[in-house]
Amino acid sequence: MQKLGNIAKAVRINALLCASAAVLLGTTGAASAATIPATTYNYYVSPTGSDSAAGTKTAPFRTLARAAQVATKPSTTVWVAAGTYTGGFKTTASGTSSARIYWVSTTKWGAKIVPGSTANVWDNRGSYVSIVGFDIDGSTKPSVTHGIYTGGSYSQIVENHVHHIAKSATCTSAGGSAIGVDSYYGGVWNDVISNIVNDIGPSGCKYIQGIYVSTSGSVKNNLVYRVGEAAIHLWHDANHVTITNNTVTTSHYGIIVGGGDFYHTSAGDNYTVVNSNIVYDNTYGISEQGVTGTSNSYSNNLVYQNSGFNISLKNGLTAKNTVSSNPLFVAYSRTATTPNFHLTSSSPAIARGTSVGAYPTDIEGKPRNSTTGYDIGAYQH
């Protein structure tokens, strides 16, 4: 496994939806629910800018690396215009619980970041940092091993599209992932919300993951498909992770809940909640591995057509309210460039989810509540 790399939980991803003085992201044909609160400091980046400029709206920087040198104070937003940017940079500054640092693509997926000279497209070591709305495209350098990596605490990885990472990477225990949330440097309570992750890692490589979490936090509303190993993988020091309303398909494993190769604890993965996920057409479905506890819970998941097994739990645990039916996506395909994972009107996932651990909206911003009902998977019907 790779080194990717009860404190106040009040500062959560919900701040993106509830903050006042918010700005709605634009779209490129994809809906967005993310809102960004007004901040004290604002910097701007544009493909037509210059790194010798002031970084203002009228005189933007050219690179995210330059913006990272100046965006060092809490209550800062870096606004990144549509265009293509070179990755391989590191962000190290931290915000605070009441004044985060935001990195925002002003058009959802309009700011494309391609690999640079390092193994990580984006390496974040800061805490209280939100990365929102970027297209992380590894196709120009298929040997790159990490899309977005975060080693701090209270990070938010929101509404990004991370794809074609490590497609021809060397398969070693150094590993890789599209989104890596790490405890190696002491990180805790990170959130991965409403991202699309696809085409990750070479087939048959057990070390390349889709969303890889080794700490506490949440994984909600993500769509993950065509991953060499696990679409969602908890390992190392992972614990107290809420995994809800994800749709995962066409990978070796759908969801792995486990602990091992520990960094800071040997307690194993416990108090993890896995609810209302669609785990469909993988080799294996939901699997507990390594060291796990007796307080993990699994409820209202749709688990179907995983050829090895659908659910395999340890410690005598059993899954509750499992739906064992084809999810009936609008246009499912194992190989199409853009399969349609929305639910048809006859899908057995509709209104079969649970409110426990649910995010207040789906991946596109549609409400989830007692009026709309709680569907299983990333998309409300």
pLDDT per residue as tens, the chain (381 positions) = 444 333 334 334 344 433 323 333 543 445 665 789 999 999 999 999 999 999 999 999 999 999 999 999 999 999 999 999 999 999 999 999 999 999 999 999 999 999 999 999 999 999 999 999 999 999 999 999 999 999 999 999 999 999 999 999 999 988 999 999 999 999 999 999 999 999 999 988 999 999 999 999 999 999 999 999 999 999 999 999 999 999 999 999 999 999 999 999 999 999 999 999 999 999 999 999 999 999 999 999 999 999 999 999 999 999 999 999 999 999 999 999 999 999 999 999 999 999 999 999 999 999 999 999 999 999 999
Distance separating the N- and C-terminal Cα atoms of the chain: 36
Angle in degrees, CA 63, 78, 111, rounded to 5: 60
- Residue 284, judged by CB atoms within 10 A of its CB (0-12, 13-18, 19+), counts as buried
* 323-330: long-range pairs with CB below 8 Å, 24+: 323/348, 323/349, 323/352, 323/376, 326/280, 327/247, 327/278, 327/280, 327/302, 327/376, 327/377
Residues with Cβ within 8 Å of 326's Cβ and at least 6 positions away in sequence, in order, are 280, 304, 305, 348
d(CA 304, CA 311): 9
Q: Are 125 and 151 in contact (CB under 8 A)?
A: yes
Domains and CATH numbers, the chain: 1-224 (2.160.20.10), 229-381 (no CATH)
- 125 touches 100 (CB < 8 A): no
Token pair for residue 39? 């901040």
Q: What is the pTM of this model?
A: 0.93
CA 186 centroid distance within chain: 19
CA dist., res. 177 & res. 195, Å (int): 14
